[in-house]
Structure 1
Amino acid sequence: MHTRLKAGARSSARERGKSDPLDAQTVAQAALREPDLPRAALEGPAREVKLLSDHRSQLVQQRTKTANRLLWFLHELDPELGMPARGTKRIRVFDAIELALSEHTGTVADIAGDLLADCCSLPRHIDDLQKRLRTLVRRPAPGLLDIPGCGVLSAATVIAETAGASRFTSKAAYARFNGTAPIPVWSSNEVKVRLNRGGNRRIAHALHMIAITQIGRGYAGAGYYAERIARGKTSNEPHRVR
């Protein structure tokens, strides 16, 4: 919900500052005051995409926490033991650590072994979820994966966070929702735009990654980026108009 719809309720609240209960109250009051607001809806395959996408994200966070704990115990056992960058995705790294742990005994080594087992299993679960998402995202939005630079995870984010494209009256309304609509700034006689810090940040991030991929691999976005640079824009300015 746009912040301007909640401004009146927030300014008249008895509490100062920002909190989840206050946000919930202001959203409810704004919804009652504006009965014609479009409603988000996640049903069928779109809801499955949302659930699996969120579950995968949580497993990725769990994998990072588990790997950090493992590194702590490995360092206690032997400061020379460690895990290279992105080692949590490489089976041979796990095999080397398991071999090194076999030379140690005690509680610390046992805990490290348990954490290592979790590090081995979590990547498989994460990869399986990504494969399931690849199949699912084609059902509610079959054309997303055909967009150059749009991978499975970006497509899943767009579907899950949009929650029904039909609720938006126009492309401009959707751009305002996801924060990609630039904000005009007038300086002297020249009209410029600045980055929109509002909107759905997950969708904005997914669209940004698609744009970066297109620029890097020479897809459609690369031509737009090069044209803007040729017109004297800085390297960051073309990114603001996604």
Structure 2
Amino acid sequence: MLEATSNAWLLYDQLQPLVAEVVVAHPQAVKLIAAARVKTDSRDTIKLASRLSANLIPAVWVPPQEVRELRALVTHRNRLVQQRTQAANRLHSVLHRHNVDPPPGEPFAVHQREWWLTLDLPLAEKLRVQQDLSLYQTLKALIQESEAELGRLSTCDPWVKQVPFLVQLPGLGVLSAMRLLAAIGEITRFPSAKHLVGYAGLGASVHQSGETNRGGRITKEGRSDLRGVMVEAAWVAVEHHPQRISPV
């Protein structure tokens, strides 16, 4: 048995042909062991073995290779987007500090570079602006390459049979559909729609005690990437779908 970490799938592939079964444990299931006051490898092994024999350690689903690769590409693209957003925020911060309105149109486009460099800024800050502009444009090109690869994968097995169904839903495009498929993996592993909702952390929280029974907000205890795509798609549908509900 091993814990789900960044290298778990590599270890799983190496161990699987050598033993009868490899169980990948959810990190929350071994948190109690990590917090133990007396912690040694031998003690941890005994505790894990006893819990595993009693079926007290829930195993996580081991994704096939194509799902792993898609998840890695989606994660890479999301990381690039985050870095581009950070560069854009730093540039906006320069304008706020100096009380300068941004240039018309797309403020970080290539043709706006001269406008930024003509700002009356200290030399060190001008250097940071120049590098953030270059970084923004570089990241933008890398994001486009990543999204082009996701688009290509959407036309290949096993995703080509699933994407056409998803893009018919309001708020979903090819990119968001691929992000959904990466997070879900094989949808047939969920016995019902409620299980998938729970996996996404979109189910309402419930508090029941005695005669008290009240619901709350969504649990947010599932995959944050899956939940994020669904929320983004919902906002796109609200803003752009012809059958959207008009605000009161």
Mapping for residues 9-158 of structure 1, pairs under 5 Å: 10=32, 13-15=35-37, 33-34=54-55, 37=59, 39-44=61-66, 46-70=67-91, 79=98, 83=102, 87=106, 90-98=109-117, 100=118, 108-139=125-156, 140=159, 141-142=162-163, 143-158=165-180
Q: Show the counterpart of 1:204.
A: 227
Query: Does the residue aligned with 2:167 lie in a helix, a strand or coil?
Result: helix
8 Å contact kept, 2:183–2:226: yes
1:32 Cα deviation (Å)? Answer: 6.5
Give the deviation of 1:154 after TM superposition.
2.6
Give 1:163 shift.
2.9
Q: Give 2:10's aligned residue.
A: none
Pick the structure with more helix per residue.
1
Tell me the distance in 1 between the aligned counterparts of 2:75 and 2:64: 14
Give the TM-score of the pair, scaled to structure 2: 0.61
Change (3 A) 1:138 1:171: farther
Quick one: which amino acid aligns to residue 96 of structure 1? Answer: W
- Per the alignment, residue 204 of structure 2 pairs with 182
Contact 2:29 2:58 in 1 (8 A): no
Show CA shifts across 1:53-82 (max 9, x none): 111111122223334445667889xx3656
Q: Evaluate the alpha carbon distance shift between residue 67 and residue 179 of structure 1 in structure 2; reply closer, same or farther with a 3 A threshold.
A: closer
Structure 1 CA distance for aligned equivalents of residues 54 and 110 of structure 2: 56
In structure 1, C-alpha distance between the alignment counterparts of 2:126 and 2:241, rounded to whole Å: 49
Q: Compared with structure 1, are the counterparts of its residues 71 and 205 closer, same or farther at alpha carbon in structure 2 (3 Å cutoff)?
A: closer
Q: For 1:161, which of 183, 186, 189 is the aligned residue?
A: 183
CA-to-aligned-CA distance 1:161-195 (integer Å, 9 cap, x gap)? 223223222222212211223345679x9x86432
RMSD after superposition? 4.6
Give the TM-score normalised by the residue count of structure 1.
0.62
Letter in 1 for 2:83: Q
In the alignment, is the contact (CA less than 8 A) between 1:31 and 1:37 conserved in 2? Answer: no
Deviations 1:137-167 (A, max 9, x none): 3542322222221134432332222232232
Partner of 1:238: none
Please, which runs of 5 or more residues in structure 2 have no aligned partner? 5-24, 38-43
- Report the identity percentage: 20
Corresponding residue pairs, total:
210
Larger RCO, structures 1/2 (Cα 8 Å, 6+ apart): 1
